[in-house]
């Protein structure tokens, strides 16, 4: 039975089966972080650029769910998602913003070239965002560092995240932008934490 499920679904990794005999393939746990991590990572897009919907991965099923429609009259300034096989202090995978010339379809895997990070506090929790460019988009993949982005890009990112929860009476502070070496450190830290927590995270599905 498992053999035929593997043939039909053609997953990259073998399927494991829980006590309910359900096939297991989860975007957070099944997809690799990337063989060139931390400089280049696989990202799973949850929210396309320009969206007013806050979509996020449901941790139990791996499907996409609508968390809410943003209260403020703002739209996501870049494609937004997470890096698989990472884990952070907020109990979520590491967030990533992928700059690209198109609005990427949700749950699409995008090869992302890391160029920096945004150090952010959401409420009382650290909530850093990795900033990257789409590796397969010739219009942006030549960019290697935040300093090479158009000056308005970082202003727009900062303003969006500081404003988008304002009407929900929640406080978000963008403390600073970090260079790519600091971003690499954040990614490696989240990969290490994931390995420490992996068995518990998968067991709880």
SS3 content of the chain, % helix, strand, coil (to 5): 25, 30, 45
| Residue recorded with tokens 């060139």 | 36
pLDDT band at 205 (very low <50, low <70, confident <90, very high): confident
pLDDT at 98 over 90: yes
> Which whole number is the average pLDDT over 31-41?
97
Whether the full predicted model's pTM is greater than 0.75, yes or no, is yes
Tokens of 191: 């990969």
Which residues, including other chains, have CB under 8 Å from residue 138's CB and lie 6 or more apart?
Answer: none
Could you tell me the sign of the dihedral formed by the alpha carbons of 113, 117, 123, 126, in that order? positive
> Which whole number is the average pLDDT over 180-195?
98
Q: What are phi and psi of 168, to 5 degrees?
A: -90, 5
pLDDT band at 4 (very low <50, low <70, confident <90, very high): very low
**CATH 3.90.80.10 is the classification of domain 28-203:** yes
Q: Mean pLDDT of all residues in the chain?
A: 89
Distance CA 159, CA 154 (A): 8
Could you tell me the sign of the dihedral formed by the alpha carbons of 86, 79, 172, 181, in that order? positive
> Which whole number is the average pLDDT over 63-67?
96
pLDDT in tens, 111-127: 999 999 999 998 888 89
Cis peptide before 38 (omega within 30 of 0): yes
pLDDT at 86 over 60: yes
What pLDDT does residue 24 have? 64
Distance CA 180, CA 116 (A): 4
> Which whole number is the average pLDDT over 18-46?
85
From the number of C-beta atoms within 10 Å of its C-beta (0-12, 13-18, 19+), residue 186 rates as buried
> Which whole number is the average pLDDT over 17-33?
73
What pLDDT does residue 25 have? 85
pLDDT at 9 over 60: no
Higher-pLDDT residue of 78 and 164 is: 78
Distance CA 64, CA 151 (A): 33
Report helix, strand or coil for 200. Answer: helix
What pLDDT does residue 70 have? 92
């Amino acid at each position: 039975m498992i053999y035929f499920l593997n043939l039909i679904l053609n997953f990259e990794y073998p399927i494991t089966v829980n006590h309910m005999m359900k096939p297991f393939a989860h975007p957070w746990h099944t997809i690799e972080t990337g063989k060139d991590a931390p400089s280049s990572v696989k990202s799973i897009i949850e929210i396309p650029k320009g969206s007013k919907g806050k979509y996020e991965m449901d941790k139990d099923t791996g499907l996409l769910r609508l968390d809410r429609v943003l209260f403020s009259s703002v739209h996501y300034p870049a494609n937004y998602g997470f890096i698989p096989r990472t884990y952070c202090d907020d109990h979520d995978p590491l967030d990533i913003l992928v700059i690209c010339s198109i609005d990427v379809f949700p749950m699409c895997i995008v090869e992302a070239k890391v160029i920096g990070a945004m150090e952010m506090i959401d409420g009382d929790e650290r909530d850093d965002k990795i900033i990257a460019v789409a590796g397969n988009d010739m219009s942006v993949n030549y960019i290697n560092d935040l300093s090479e982005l158009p000056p308005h890009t970082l202003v727009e990112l900062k303003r969006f995240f500081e404003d988008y929860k304002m009407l929900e009476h929640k406080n978000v502070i963008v403390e600073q932008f970090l260079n790519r070496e600091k971003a690499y450190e954040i990614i490696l830290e989240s990969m290490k934490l994931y390995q420490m927590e992996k068995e518990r995270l998968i067991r709880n599905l």
